Structure 1
Amino acid sequence: ELFSELGETPVISELGELSVYAAPGLDIYLGDIFALTSPLLGVVDAIYDRAALVALPAEMREHYTQHLIQMTDAAPQLLVNYDYQQSAMPGPPFAISDDELNRHYAQRYTLEPLHCESVPGGLKGQCPAQEKVWLLTP
């Protein structure tokens, strides 16, 4: 769908356990992110995390964030998260507090909050939540 919106037809190839959809200036890897390594990925200019971290249960987040930092050499990130009372809704999306973001990223990044707004009607209509946008700069 993204390639169609861009007016591009991707070249699709297999790379180990992953599928790669490529067009000029854009490569999308489909598969288990933990199968993706720095040598396979190459140089990364930036990361956009729209729904990855909030989709993971607490016990997977540290492994995910450290893997992302390592394989991208701490590339700058634009990250979107939700913050709400986790007991009000089981997730996903899971609540990620400012403190948790700092625990995962503050050793390698400066975290700058760019935007925060209440989710209209609450998250999935179940509980009040804040949607937050962050810039993570090495």
Structure 2
Amino acid sequence: MEKQFWEEKWEAQELGFHLSFVHPILKRNLAAFDLPAGATVFLPLCGKTLDIGWLLEQELRVVGVELSELAVSQLFESLGVSPDVSSWGDGRVWRHGALTVFQGDVFALTAGDLGDVAMVYDRAALVAFPAAMRERYAAHLASVTARAPQLLITFEYDQDRMDGPPFAVPAEEVERLYGNSHALDCLSRKDVIDNQPAFRERGLDRFEEIAWRLAPL
């Protein structure tokens, strides 16, 4: 999506993708990844998710990337800490303790920026990209994380009734994007339309949330 699109979403606080609680899928499945204390979890397009604070409480190192400066600022404010901020490419990098957030274009990230990634937690990135950009994103993610294991969340719904973001990403596309680099395990599938009144108002009667574990081959 265009940078201006997301900046306008944050300025207008149109944050239907932001949850007021730690995601249950993360809490339910993190232990299965068996991460040691200090391991790095990477969150692409992290926003100001409360999941970050929870991951830090698990004694993990967290690295995120987010386009919106407002989102990053609000994230650190919500954590009650004052980050060190320095330049990074066309953006900036914000650091405090075990948390580092690159504010800028996810495609500008390098493997050197991220270091050794033990797990990718993609709760909002793949589904934020239109179909034409998803292959590039998946390839870039595999490259900069050395095909790290992933906890991936996708959605399935009738996109003829509602266009994204978040976009519908069917299982067949997940297999096409990641099947050559990872073994795919569907952890859960649940219709959450009752928790999405805005999507029901836009014409949907089904909105399935799917959790995937991706293990490198």
TM over 0.5, yes or no? yes
Report the count of equivalent residues. 138
CA 1:65–1:116 in structure 2 vs 1: closer, same or farther (change >3 Å)? same
Task: Letter of the 2:119 partner, please give it.
Answer: A
Q: Which has the higher strand share?
A: 1
Which of 177, 187, 208 does residue 130 from structure 1 map onto?
208
Unaligned runs of 5+ in 1: none
Contact 2:94 2:100 (C-alpha < 8 Å) held by counterparts: yes
Task: Letter of the 1:58 partner, please give it.
Answer: A
**What secondary structure is seen at the aligned counterpart in 2 of 1:85?**
coil
Which of 140, 150, 167 does residue 94 from structure 1 map onto?
167
**What secondary structure is seen at the aligned counterpart in 2 of 1:93?**
coil
Kindly provide the CA deviation profile for residues 39-97 of structure 1, in whole angstroms up to 9, marking residues without a partner as x: 23222222111111111110000000000000110111111110112212111111000
Kindly provide the CA deviation profile for residues 9-60 of structure 1, in whole angstroms up to 9, marking residues without a partner as x: 3221111123211122221111111111112322222211111111111000
In structure 2, what is the equivalent of residue 67 of structure 1? 140
Q: Does 1:110 align with 2:188?
A: no
TM-score by length of 1: 0.90
Q: Distance in 2 between matches of 1:105 and 1:87?
A: 25
Q: Does 1:42 align with 2:120?
A: no
Contact 2:83 2:96 (C-alpha < 8 Å) held by counterparts: yes
Unaligned runs of 5+ in 2: 1-73
Q: Which has the higher helix share?
A: 2
Q: Does 1:80 align with 2:153?
A: yes
**What secondary structure is seen at the aligned counterpart in 2 of 1:104?**
helix
Using the TM superposition, name which of 19-28 and 52-61 deviates more.
19-28
Contact 1:80 1:132 (C-alpha < 8 Å) held by counterparts: yes
Using the TM superposition, name which of 56-65 and 14-23 deviates more.
14-23
Q: Distance in 2 between matches of 1:63 and 1:56?
A: 10
Q: Distance in 2 between matches of 1:31 and 1:23?
A: 18
Question: 1:2-21 residue pairs with structure 2 within 5 A?
Answer: 2-21=75-94
In structure 2, what is the equivalent of residue 56 of structure 1? 129
Identity of aligned residues (%): 42
Q: Distance in 1 between matches of 2:118 and 2:82?
A: 22
In structure 2, what is the equivalent of residue 30 of structure 1? 103
Task: Letter of the 1:105 partner, please give it.
Answer: Y
